[in-house]
Amino acid sequence: MRITQLPPMAVELPGGGVVAVAAQRWDLEPWTGPPDPPDVGWSWARKGRFTVSGQRSCAELAIVEHMRGDGWDGVWVNAYLRELRTDWFPAPAVRTLAELGAPDWAAAAFERLRVANGNRLAGFFDVFAWRQPDEFWFAEAKVGNDRLGDNQRKFVELALRFHGPNQFAVIKIPRTRRADPGRSLEER
């Protein structure tokens, strides 16, 4: 994996104003292993295929894994399925950080944001990471040409009530071509 620092990204806030957040490009290792099993649902199969610790995974969990290597704990905030994940399917998901055994201060900070967001995960950045002493980091994975949406801009505006702009990053990840099991690596 290669990480490249990009110029800060200007995020227009719904209430007016602009905040600059860190931007990075992450070149992740594409997954070249077997295709997903048939029982993987659409919400999983549609995720970009990347290799994390030698296993098929996704961009969000690649970020979580990298953060672990830097002394952080973290979760993929899967707003679509309203769950938190630390590992790829079929590992179980949870609804709260407390279920993962996260420190009380981290769980409280996450729940404060969820409550302020109307008890929803809509708009939450993809990765919520924490480490002592009370440090937090929010990362939004943008694969291919994906851009920040209105809900994510609302989340930034909301979260800035509790956290500084230096705790946010947008991570741009080039889209990889899906592996075709019928072709050799040299033909791809």
Q: What is the largest CA-CA distance in the chain?
A: 52
pLDDT in tens, 4-46: 999 999 999 999 999 999 999 999 999 999 998 888 778 788 8
Tokens at 78, concatenated: 């899967």
CB 82 within 8 A of CB 117: no
Residue 70: how many other CB atoms lie within 10 Å: 9
Cis upstream peptide for 90 (omega within 30°): yes
pLDDT in tens, 83-97: 999 999 888 899 999
So where are the chain's domains?
A: 2-180
CB 20 within 8 A of CB 8: yes
